[in-house]
Chains A and B, each alone.
Chain A
Amino acid sequence: MSTFDCFSNMYDVALKPRLLRTLIRDHVPDEKHPFSNTLEISRVISLVKTHRLLSESVNQFVDPKVVEAWKSNVTSWVERILSLLSSNSPDKCWVGISLLGVTCTECSSDRFLESYSVWFQKLLSFLQSTEGSHLVRVASCASMSDLFGRLTVFPKLKKDASSCAVKVIQPVLKMLHDDYSELIWEGALHLLCTMITSFPFSIQRHYDSIESAIGLKLLSGGCSRSMLKKLAHCLALLPKSRGDEESWTVLMQKILIAINDHLNFAFQGLEEETMRKVVTGLLVPPGRQPPPPLAGFILAEEVTNKAIKRSEQLLMSNVSALMFGCCTMLTESYPVKINVPARLLLALVERILMVDGSLPQMSLPFMTAIQQENICSELPVLHLCSLELLTTITKVLGRQILPHAASILRIITMYFKTCALPELRIKVYSAARILLMSVGVEGESQCNGKVACLVIRKSWIQIVETVSSLIRNIINYLRGMASCLAQEIVNNASADLSNIEKSGGTVNGLNSNASTGAPLLPSHRKRKHSSTTSSLQEHDEGGGLGVEYPKNRLLTPISLRIAALEALEALITVAGALRSERWRSQVDNLLIVVAIDSFKEGSAIEEIGLFLLNEPAATATDLQLAALHALLASFLSFNRVRPPYLAQGLKLFHRGKQQTGTKLAEFCAHALLTLEVLIHPRALPLGDYNHTFGEAQRNLPDEYTWRNNSTTFGLPQVGNDTLNTDDDLFARWMGNDNEVDVPLAKNTKYTEDASEVATFPDAEMTAVEDENILNSDQPGDSAVQFQEPISFTTSIPVAEARDSVATTKIVSERIVSDGTMPDSEDNHMESGRGISVNKAFQSSPLQTTEGSTIVHEYALTLNHGSSLDNEDPFPDIVDEDPDDSGSEEA
């Protein structure tokens, strides 16, 4: 290649061999040149990866010369690497090994197949040698596992690869056993995991030795937490290599026994005997032999002896690692179905969660204050793990949770009452949320109500008893915290910090919770002016004044608030419509307030988020997003009346949508799309029933024309939509009663009538049982059918036209014409009376006096006609409100 042999552009294949050659010549170290600049290596690798310099992928149009050049360059690249491998200096060795690993993943299949066995031998020799620097060993583990990773792509090589894999296991185990660097262990574990998942046959013979090696490492302590997690993960994967139910079950049993032993030791004198007995009984069913302990007999002995001498801290870190292993075993995929010991796991979780560090009366003399202190300091971690396990169980059981749902619910509710640490609360929330989702509608019954109360209660004060006051507290809490944050940051950053520390550090929060809760209440009362119903305006006001909130409040971590919001969202999603009267309005109120606040305080919280740094995941934006998610759920789950805060909510969504490019905007756009269906509801017929039937069987030709928007009466079809959507209309009507032509007294009467009228389609739907009455009812009925169109139309002629042609035929047309009306508020025929009433309200300002009197008259006839047979309120599709209609009748 001459100096001026230029290539066309950066995509030209000819570039690649050249570039590779340059890299080899100038940047890759060789035996002669000393290796100094580490930056060069990373540049080489990034170039190789970006331009896929080793891929040798060409199509047939490429000049064969280029192909040849590329091939020879790659060959020289490989040669260079191999020469580096045989170098004496460790750094060059290390570079060689690392580059070989990258080559394994990047090179063409042909080249890989051709030379993998050579590479394998080279790497194996490094794995087997006991000397060599840490970096070399780590790199050889990584490169080896990549080599095997690449091998999995070729199923044909399975057998060959397995025989290679067998050779690796022994040195890896040796590494685990001999070395004392976590980096090396990490590499070795990763290699082991690759073997377990990809080449299970290679594991077979070494299954037990691997298990005991990892078990020993796990239990003997001296590893960091992340290392423990990796060990537990690898252990949990181990049964996959056999893939039968038995090895899974045995390993699970071993792990649980190990956990239980640790707990028995740690919880001495802290718990009731019963729980311990239950768990132990379930662990080893009577009449069965327990499996050998996790790390083998002798080792286990040794380990437990050591452990007893060591601190509780070690115990706890072991337990948490083991529990993490449990979770991994439960979540990792497994080839066969498994009998998950759900009851045992739940009992274990319950056992741990029941221990809060308090001493039962009887065991006082057996525990010193220092012992108690030690245990209590570790309990939160333990609780966290067991909550995680609980969440995992709930997820794993999925739809098969039924037999255990009750006990899970009990555990959660029990724990809600006592739990005070924010991190733990977050876990509880998520557990509760998952439970809600998996038990489904049934949650509707009080159980969800219960959870709802608890979900709400936990964050707040336990003293208060009624649900409503609890929720009001929450409202204040959530909102107050936000404003509090803003103020703190402005005023006194250091005070803030101490606050945060305090909130993070409340151990055994019952007391601290109560004490911090106490100051919260009075201030809340002050602001509330003794009002019992918390209206939005008030909250708004409160939000505005929020800057003045006392400083001595605990800060709620954002993530906790997010978790609370998510739990509420789940609750609304699952049980929003069912027996929710007690808590619903308060939750809705809470949600809109929080959402509005999140927009207000957003920036301020962001700052503290940056300031904190230890909570990088949860920022104010996340909170905002969570709030809007919950808000959307609350809007959509309304089915009888219009969501009271729809207007505000829409505004928020619009505002959020403007922040282009953010997740928030994305979600807001989605929310608006979803709400559009709420605003312009539609029933979606499969075909045009009325049309086809009308044409074919019943001769209702007018209908067809109406459907085509050329109505005989010139009824503007768009009218429906505009009336429905315009929220302002509603507000205007409510605000300007007097402007309506009808006198006020009459007006109120009219509204009553209107609501009566509005409900009538529902009455229609509920078809009075007695057919006779139905017939005699006909005039009244037709009048009813008139009512609604009138309430929607804006012109007198329409009303007149209707008046004059009150034949049944027309009636049917009219029904059709406003046919979307009963359905319109909700797709699922949940149009409730409340909605209809709203609509009547909305539309009425456009009503002329004449129109409304007509309405009135018809309503009267309607009443007359219906009073005979319809003593009862007409049940709505979804909602009925007996009181309401009763008074109307009167």
Chain B
Amino acid sequence: MEVILASSSVDSGIGCWDLHTGSELLRYKSCSSPSHGLVSIGSRFIASSQIRDPSASSGSLLYWSWNKPQVEVKNFPAEPIKPIAANQSGTYIAAGGAYSGDIYFWEVDTGRLLKKWRAHYRPVTCLIFNEDESLLITGSEDGCVRVWDLFMIFDELRSQEAGNLYMHSFSEHTLRVTDVAIGNGGASAIIVSASEDWTCKVWSLATGALLRNIVFPEVVIDNIVLDPAEHVFYAGGRNGKIYIAALNTESIPTNNYGKHILGSFSNQSKAVTCLAYGTTGDLLISGAEDGIVRVWDLRTRNIVRVFKHAKGPINNIIVVRRELDSSNQMSFNAQTNSRKHGSSLPPPLEKYPTGSEPSDTVLVSLGGGGRHEDVKYVSHDVLMNSLKELQNQGSTAASEMEMEKLKHDSQRSIQMVNQWKKMYENLHEFCVKELFDGSKQQT
């Protein structure tokens, strides 16, 4: 089932709805997340960074398991965390510091802080993994969008050799970057970034070139979602409109919006604060400042569902597939029940890196974790083999050769015997002769 999760910057928990039936599921308690601060870790559990007190020097990052409304694990990183991102399988969490512009990179299952590096001059506002999880794309308050090659980050030698860690640094935005998105296509993918300077920009991952600059009519775009075929992208503006901007399609210069903007749809709500794409049924889910989640059918551009989340502005919406995880969850529970923790969630994240050495061990589930294999019966094969052996007995080339060898051996032995015999006879003759001669002499 596909589930929508929504959180808000004021404490109203994490709302959870089944996207297709519209029924509300559990509401996870005590969450006030910053923008881009809500992720589902590999569909196993939910994690969110927290902003309770903006002036506090320490922040927290919370875990909820799917079946309990209470916070299960509290992490206290070295500094407050704003945006977080997890890779698809939920093995790594990347997070941006709220003050420093550092990026933290944790291994989820062990809680180890694998890496921490200085990414931007100002705090990181958003970060995402690319499709194959080898790159991290970050946007910052300083208007900079950077692409990080994780492989490079983890290669001590090469990163020392190289002048800078990043692969690309796009600094064309003049104000705070509000959102970034990356498309499919491996090395040929495109990156779209939105900024408070009223523009969205499209970048080429392969060359690092600015491909397109889309100026929105005096409106800040806070979030963007790519159409899966990358035909267009949807941009949620602070004026409550969701704009459709052209990527892989013809653009129409004569409209009220500006170049590359194909149109917009809105329901006169307040600012659109977050967008998500529902993969089954091509739904666009938008969250607004008025605390309402709207689900749009992208074909007709009509609202098909409305969920009321909170009074305050929603600032995160994610869509999670949970079909897999019901079984996953069970096996996960089953396996961890034996552990002492009693909790199905991994241990808290570490505050500081343990050392410069790469970790010695990697926690993995081998071979897909206890799949049951089909029974393989052998007696038939064994029987057939034995039969073959029995049939072949005496006729094989090997035994023929053996035969030859034996014949040869016996011949040689016979020869030998004859030789010995002859020698013996000679000896005998000789002895007899000697004796005979001796006795003759004596006599």
Contact = CB atoms under 8 A, between A and B. Distances in A.
A102 B251 contact: no
Given A639-B188, A879-B207, A828 B227 contact: no
B342 interface: no
Contacts of B247: 829
A404 B205 CA distance: 25
B364 A875 contact: no
A33 B249 CA distance: 85
Given A405-B154, A439-B151, A333 B207 contact: no
Contacts of A684: 229, 231
Interface string A389-419: 0000000111110111111010000000000
Interface stretch (B95-103, B252-260, B315-323): B252-260
B131 to A, nearest CB: 8
A185 to B, nearest CB: 13
B263 A405 contact: no
Nearest to B199: A769
A604 interface: no
A392 to B, nearest CB: 11
A687 B298 contact: yes
A655 to B, nearest CB: 29
Contacts of B212: 765-767, 877
Contact of A406 (B133, B156, B301): B156
B155 A405 contact: yes
Given A334-B370, A685-B231, A445 B362 contact: no
B361 A343 contact: yes
A94 B250 CA distance: 78
Chain B: number of interface residues, binned into ranges: 35 or more
Contact of A102 (B255, B282, B376, B379): B379
B59 to A, nearest CB: 25
Interface in A708-767: 762, 764-767
B335 A808 contact: no
Nearest to A141: B382
B380 interface: yes
Contact of A190 (B135, B373, B378): B378
Contact of B387 (A42, A152, A768): A42
A439 B187 CA distance: 13
Contacts, number: 328
A105 B249 CA distance: 61
Interface in B198-220: 202, 204-207, 209-215
| Interface SS of A by simple majority | helix
Contacts of B360: 282, 341-344
A816 interface: yes
A808 B248 CA distance: 22
Contacts of B134: 439-443
Contacts of A146: 377-379
A402 B156 CA distance: 12
B365 interface: yes
Contacts of B387: 38, 41-42
Contacts of B259: 764, 767, 774
Contacts of A331: 366-367
B213 A769 contact: yes
B187 A397 contact: no
A98 B214 contact: no
A769 B215 CA distance: 8
Contacts of B382: 98, 101, 138-139, 142, 187
Interface in A503-559: none
Interface in B338-369: 338, 358-369
A444 interface: yes
A80 B87 CA distance: 63
Interface string A685-714: 111011011000110100000000000000
Contacts of B152: 442, 445, 447
Contacts of B154: 402-403, 405-406
24 contacts: A94-B386, A101-B380, A102-B380, A105-B377, A187-B382, A331-B366, A397-B362, A403-B114, A404-B358, A405-B151, A440-B133, A445-B149, A447-B155, A683-B229, A687-B299, A689-B262, A692-B301, A698-B252, A768-B213, A823-B249, A828-B185, A828-B189, A828-B248, A829-B247
Interface of A: 38-39, 41-42, 45, 49, 94, 98, 101-102, 104-105, 135, 138-139, 142-143, 145-146, 149-150, 152-153, 187, 190, 197-198, 244, 282, 329-344, 396-400, 402-407, 409, 439-445, 447, 573-579, 637, 639, 683-687, 689-690, 692-693, 697-698, 700, 762, 764-769, 771, 774, 778, 781, 808-809, 811-812, 815-816, 819, 822-823, 827-830, 875-880
Given A685-B229, A767-B215, 12 more contacts: A45-B380, A149-B376, A332-B366, A340-B366, A439-B151, A443-B134, A578-B188, A684-B229, A690-B252, A768-B213, A811-B254, A827-B230
